[in-house]
Amino acid sequence: MRALLADIGGTNARFALLQDGRIGAPVILPVAGFGSAEDAMEEALKRLAPAAPPEQAVLALAGPVLAEPVRLTNAPWSLESAAIAARFGMRRVRLVNDFLALAHALPHLAGGDLVRIGGGTPVASAPMLVVGPGTGLGAAGLVPTAGDPVAVPTEGGHIGLAAETPREDAVIAALRARCGRAGAEEALSGRGLVNLHAIAAELQGVAAPQRDAAAIVAAAGTCPVADEALAHFLAFLAAYAGDMALAWGARGGIFIAGGILPRLLPRLDAPRFRAQFEAKPPMRHWMADVPLAVVTHPAPAFLGLAALARSSAD
């Protein structure tokens, strides 16, 4: 079996070939560099399978997959499985939510793919949940059943953000004024970090240079505005992950994926982050038993996509 796997986000589209049970090296293409997903796929297939395209494809998309064509939330592409199959002569094309693919990846992550934050013991019969700040903010659960586990994609990245301190109250109010609504993604994403940086400058009453997310991270440690933006980002993320654990009963574990937090691990105060995650009285003791980990695998969605491709071939 050969299958094209793709993890298509708002910034980058990653493609890899599943062949003989192994996932090959990925091709990473900028979404902004191509007019359509099919054009990017054509370029990827030239590099991955120049002789002949594979017979099937499983594509993970950063957006709700409800009806086709599927439109990405944070990019102008739309995709339709029948059109893709016809263009590339494929027998089967499956479109799934990107966090559904990440949920399917959770059982396949090894110890070296994770950095644990604090304690907790996973309950095998309980749901696991993956959340991930990147270009946007995604969330999906993996629920055990008597047969194969069931992945449940959500739009949990758009729930309302909650404040825990008076300073966070001010940040939430500023987010609402800036964005129209203080949704979690407006703080916990690349553009969310930019929002927090601008708000921190306003609250400190100082002028700060305009920075993208990478520049904000780079400025941390030397710029009080960047320091406050990152502190709010991490505090909101820990609290959000804890809220999602409660909502899902996710005693199988909370896994934080996405492109941002792994880059912050060298400066992460893990005990503080864990304490902010657990700070849910009167449920603090319940929270203390929930495992929490950062996913450091460079392309975890491919593990879930490969599992989906194998199940489609069975």
Q: Which residues are documented as binding site for ATP?
A: 6-11
- Map residue 302 onto helix, strand or coil: helix
Whose tokens are 């959340």? That residue is 131
| Cross-strand bridge partners of residue 94 | 58
Contacts of 77 (CB under 8 A, 6+ apart): 8, 31, 36, 37, 71
Q: Please check whether residue 42 is in contact with residue 33, taking contact to mean a CB–CB distance below 8 angstroms.
A: no
Distance CA 36, CA 40 (A): 7
> Please, where are the H alpha helices in the chain?
37-48, 81-88, 98-105, 166-179, 190-204, 213-219, 224-248, 261-264, 270-278, 284-288, 300-313
